[in-house]
Amino acid sequence: MPGFITHYTTGIEAVDKMSDNYIRELIARSNHAFLVGLQGMDIFQYTFRSKSHRSLSYRTAGSGIHNQEYAAFFNSMCEAIDKVESGQRDACLAYLAGFLCYYAGEKTLEPYIAYRTGQRLPTKSRSSQARRERAGVETTIDTVLLRSHFHLEPSQLNFGALTYLSRHDAALIGTVVRRTVRETYNCRISNSEVASGLKALRRSLVCVRPDRHYHRNLMAVMKNRIIYEDYMTDSNDYMNAAHRPWYPYLGCMEPVTYSFEEIYQMALMHAVHLLDSLDSYVSWGMHREELISEVIDLNPYDRVGGGD
């Protein structure tokens, strides 16, 4: 998955590129719900529990959106939102809008991040080593992207505000997520577990001063944390400014040479398209099947190397 900040910037810039319509106004009114939606089901990836029945629920919910069940997932989410009282539906729709931006980022950016992570790992590597390597790729891209597009360093972001939900909105969104996961994966989670996922995400985001010795010592004691460092440079060219070839999926016969900036612009284009489709669904009577079709037809690399 792309990093926290990459999902955040994708959503913010996609909204800026939208035309003035109802969904854009709704996002402005319920911006906290939209910001939480930008992290999708990744909020469950930050909850660390023992291998119990409940933790199985977390892992299923957290990994489910990465499966090939997108149509069922988004259909279940739309159905869950329809069951919310009309006067309280704004926060849920804003959350869905954020989730669609998250989905566009996952489909477009994840193949590159996965490839770059695997490229730097030895043939036989432990899962902990893979997590560390992936975290290095994600946080570097996050920091460079934030600096180049927003002229900010990670310490200038208020991570607490970006993961905040009022108690009322948290209950509404928790109900939508719970019903969506139950209907799609036959997996039961509670509203409190959704709230716990948000709290765990908030605790996991750490920004440290640019001191390599301090950074190494902190890494040794703060496991399972996402550590950002100001003024980080892209010494390994994770942004692929050199346009080195890479393969977007297993079995791909032809490499692509897109830089991360180029596929990031693709992700923005797809996110804007999905937000406009959501506006057509909510405001102009588009059938749900058409919206779902727009979602599942999003395949940025379908014409590369024999893609379907």
C-alpha 89: how far from its chain's center?
Answer: 22
207 strand-pairing partners: 228
Instruction: Delimit the domains of the chain by residue range.
Output: 4-119+158-206+260-296
Predicted model pTM:
0.90
The two tokens of residue 27 are 């996002």
Q: pLDDT tens, 160-176?
A: 899 999 999 999 999 99
CB 64 within 8 Å of CB 184: yes
Which letter, b or e, does each residue of 249-282 get, where b requires 16 or more Cβ atoms within 10 Å of its Cβ? beebeeebebbbeebbebbbebbbebbbbbbbbb
Give, for 229, the enclosing helix (H) or strand (E): strand 226-229
Q: pLDDT tens, 95-132?
A: 999 999 999 999 999 999 999 998 878 777 777 778 88
Integer Rg of the chain from CA: 19
Write down the residue that tokens 């590369």 correspond to: 304
Grade residue 221 by pLDDT with cuts at 50, 70 and 90: very low
DSSP code of 207?
Answer: E
Cα distance between residue 210 and residue 183, in whole Å: 46
